[in-house]
Amino acid sequence: MKPKTLSLVLSCALSCLWPLPVLAQASSPAVDAKGQQWWQHAVFYEIYPRSFADSNNDGVGDLKGITSKLDYLKDLGVDAIWITPCFPSPQVDFGYDVSDYENIDPMYGTLADFDTLVSEAKKRGIRIILDFVVNHSSDRHPWFIDSKSSRTAEHRDWYIWRDGKGPGQPPNNWTSDFGGSAWKFDPTTNQYYYHYFYAEQPDLNWRNPAVKDAMFDVTRWWYRRGVAGFRLDAVDTLYEDPELHDNPILPGKNAYGDPLEDNTYNTKLPEVHDTLRDLRKVADESGAVLIGETWTKDVSELRRYYGDHGNELQMPMDLMFTKLKFSAPVFREHIAAVDGAGGWPVYVISNHDIERSYDRYADGEHNDQIAKVMAALYLTLRGTPIMYYGEEIGMKTTPPVRKEDVKDPIGVRGWPKEKGRDGERTPMQWNDSVNAGFSAATPWLPVPPTYKTHNVASESKDPDSILAFYNSVLKLRHTNKALLDGSYTALNENDPKVLSYLRTYQDQVVLVALNMSGSVQSPNFELSHKGFTSAKTLVSTPKSSIQGDVVTLPPYGVFIAQLSR
Ligand code: TEU
């Protein structure tokens, strides 16, 4: 019988793209010969600046610390760094309460340090992305200080002020994401102001054109300084129902003891998309990229963030990916939906708000191996991956054990049900010396005990380490056209244990097979029937191999190969 040729879906990557102006800031080209934008080929890396590297030994990381680690990031294969907020801030929410949008907090350094970081990064072909906290400012921002000073203040309408329903009664039933009412009474003017997060984070009034103009100008100011784009914080919450309808109440209570509510009237309002389109126009003036913190309930909601004409966010994060059960069918179904949705996928497995992927998927026996499966997965899919610092060495989430040690205020408020987010924000583990090489001083959060085995220095010397694995997959990804630009085609779609797929670009085909189970698996991919005559192993974990059409995978084994006809 004549071997059947596998009908391969031609890369939709090119047809799915929307044109962008050329980016001038960094040395590597913005658009390649095939018309791909720089951010489609880039690997992003999120840095929580308090915890990455401490250059002045005060226990808190800083910009000079990040600059000192650029060679490490370059060698790892990072092309863009997203730094969570490093602007002046009272640090109630560790920087997500900004009191000056156009400066650097002295604890992180100076604007000159920032300029040095941008230029040193540029020398290495690395771009800098900042975090734009769009929904709210700090209550110490001069805009809010003026706003609360009187009902007729120039900035009064820059925030959301309302009368209470009656004495001691807030305007409606909305609760803060961080516990308690979302309204705080201010005796100076006898009105309440609205805060979706902490009371120290009053919501900006995006219905006021002056707010829009001021915030757009903030982005222009940073673009002129060489910033290649922004990660937009909490975009869902930009707008609220002007009539302040009560949210429907659901059964049950959250960790803070508040009734659960359906945020119908204060999140995901259609106006969010109008503002994203406007922010995008400003970004396009500088060829910048916008990444969204887009917590969506399904793929169609995610799809909307690209905009009907590709005119909203270039990179809305697929955060649903962080909620999936470690199971081949579950990931297969989700990936098919996201890949088929028409946008350029953006995959994330960890960030500074959620339990690290290492712990989420750990089975207690094969933890490091499972971390490699997850790395192989999101670094070989069609789309752009955003890594989180420390993921590449298998850092563990290490929440505080005692309430008195909690730094994140939501952990103090919600203890013990909600322990806060300290566990995923611990210092980067550089080596096995004191404080894991992060700082000579006691770090602001304790270093997890696993630093002795899971650190950059030790793992660099171990060819079987998680870091060595990340290095090899990232190296492959940067040079392999099929992984960069190829289409995605699922294989063996009924296999309950092995997730496998082809990435295909013209005549280049890469097979990825991931054993998501704790037992040996031997999937048959019928490669000869599909017209393939040989397979060259590109990256694999020990004891994974191919014999004819059959790939043998040990528990949580990874096998990636180039197929030829
Ligand atoms: O997070 C917004 C967001 O959706 C989070 O509220 C999430 O629900 C919470 O962290 C779960 O505990 C962004 C930032 O990523 C977060 O660090 C900030 O605290 C928040 O905005 C307010 O700026």
For 524-562, the pLDDT digits (tens) are: 999 999 999 999 999 999 999 999 999 999 999 999 999
Report pLDDT for 150.
98
Question: What value does the mean pLDDT take over residues 165-177?
Answer: 97
- SS3 sequence, 270-339? CHHHHHHHHHHHHHHHCCCEEEECCCCCCHHHHHHCCCCCCCCCCEECEHHHHHCCCCHHHHHHHHHHHH
Of the candidates 71, 213, 217, 285, the residue annotated as catalytic is 285
Tell me, using a 6 A CB cutoff, whether residue 196 lines ligand 1: no
CB 468 within 8 A of CB 77: no
Q: pLDDT tens digits, residue range 441-470? A: 999 999 999 999 999 999 999 999 999 999
Q: Which of 19-33, 41-55, 81-95, 453-467 is predicted with the least confidence, judged by mean pLDDT?
A: 19-33
According to DSSP, the β-strands at 259-261 and 249-253 are: antiparallel
Alpha carbon nearest to ligand 1 atom 22, residue: 96
What's the pLDDT at 28? 58
Q: How many Å lie between the centroid of ligand 1 and the Cα of residue 544?
A: 40
Out of 132, 233, 418, give the residue to mutate to test ligand 1, the one with the largest number of ligand atoms within 8 Å of its CB: 233
Task: Answer yes or no: is the C-beta of 339 below 6 A from any ligand 1 atom.
Answer: no
Nearest CA to ligand 1 atom 17: 353
Contacts (Cβ under 8 Å, ≥6 apart) of 4: 529, 530, 531
Total Cβ atoms within 10 A of residue 153: 15
Residue 351 Rama label (left phi>0; alpha psi -120 to 50; beta): beta
**Mutational test site, ligand 1, from 91, 137, 177, 201, max ligand atoms within 8 Å of CB:** 177
DSSP H/E element including 372? helix 367-380
Q: Which of 9-23, 143-157, 219-233 has the lowest mean pLDDT?
A: 9-23
What's the token pair of residue 497?
């244990």
SS (H, E, C) 147-181: HCCCCCCCCHHHECEECCCECCECCCCCECCCCCE
DSSP state of 186: E
Compare 28 and 342 and report the one with higher pLDDT. Answer: 342
**233 catalytic per annotation:** yes
Nearest ligand 1 atom to the CA of 93 is 19
Cα–Cα dist 366/282, whole Å: 47
Q: Does the pLDDT at position 23 exceed 80?
A: no
Q: Is 200 in the pocket of ligand 1 (CB under 6 A)?
A: no
Dist. CA 353 → ligand 1 center (Å) = 6
Q: Is the pLDDT of residue 6 over 50?
A: no
Tell me if 193 sits within 8 A of 202, measured CB to CB.
yes
Ligand 1 probe mutation, 82, 84, 96, most atoms within 8 A of CB:
96
Residue 107 DSSP code = T
Indicate if ligand 1 lies below 6 Å from the C-beta of 82. Answer: no
- pLDDT value at position 29? 64
Please write the tens of the pLDDT for every residue from 104-129: 999 999 999 999 999 999 999 999 99
Catalytic residue among 233, 293, 418, 459: 233
Atom 11 in ligand 1: which residue has the minimum CA distance? 353
Q: How far away, in angstroms, is 103 Cα from ligand 1 center?
A: 22
Asked whether residue 12 carries a pLDDT value surpassing 90, the answer given is no
User: pTM for the full model?
Assistant: 0.94
Banded pLDDT at 367 (limits 50, 70, 90):
very high
The pLDDT mean for the chain works out to 94
